[in-house]
Amino acid sequence: MTIECMEDGQVLTITYERLLEIYFQNPQFGYYFLVLTSQRQRLLDNNQRLQENISRLEAALAQEKAARQT
């Protein structure tokens, strides 16, 4: 996946093994993390759909403009 940062930030990483360790040590945190990541995925999916809709709208507007010029 590709991302574009709008301002400076930090990237944090965690291995899958470490995540499992934390999950089993603290199931409440594990559940919170699962909810958080699933919400993030929904946000990314919604953003993708929005971008596709914008592209279709721009194409339709360009066709309409071209049709008016002829």
Structure confidence at residue 1 as a pLDDT band (50, 70, 90):
low
Kindly write down the DSSP assignment for every residue of 7-69, as one continuous string: S--------HHHHHHHHHH-HHHHHHHHHHHHHHHHHHHHHHHHHHHHHHHHHHHHHHHHHHH
The pTM is what?
0.44
Q: Which of 58, 55, 43 is nearest to 1 (CA)?
A: 43
Among residues of the chain, what percentage have pLDDT more than 90? 6
Residue holding tokens 């919170």?
A: 32
Check if the beta carbon of residue 31 is closer than 8 Å to that of residue 37. Answer: no
For the stretch 7-32, pLDDT in tens is: 898 888 888 898 888 888 988 888 88
